[in-house]
Amino acid sequence: MTIALKSCNETKYWLCLIRDTMEVDRSKVESLEG
């Protein structure tokens, strides 16, 4: 359970980093976040 939660948090971290630092469509990144 702990490993799954850590993986989820890391994925969310990277998606937010990509959303905030790159020229991407915010709605596409937000759709990946779920």
Per-residue pLDDT of the chain (34 residues; tens, 9 = 90+): 788 888 888 988 998 898 889 888 888 888 887 7
* SS3 assignment, position 17: helix
Rounded Cα–Cα distance for residues 22 and 20 (Å): 6
* Single pTM value for the model: 0.62
pLDDT of residue 25: 85
Rounded Cα–Cα distance for residues 4 and 6 (Å): 5
The total of other beta-carbon atoms located within 10 Å of residue 29's CB is 15
N-terminal to C-terminal alpha carbon distance within the chain:
19
pLDDT of residue 32: 80
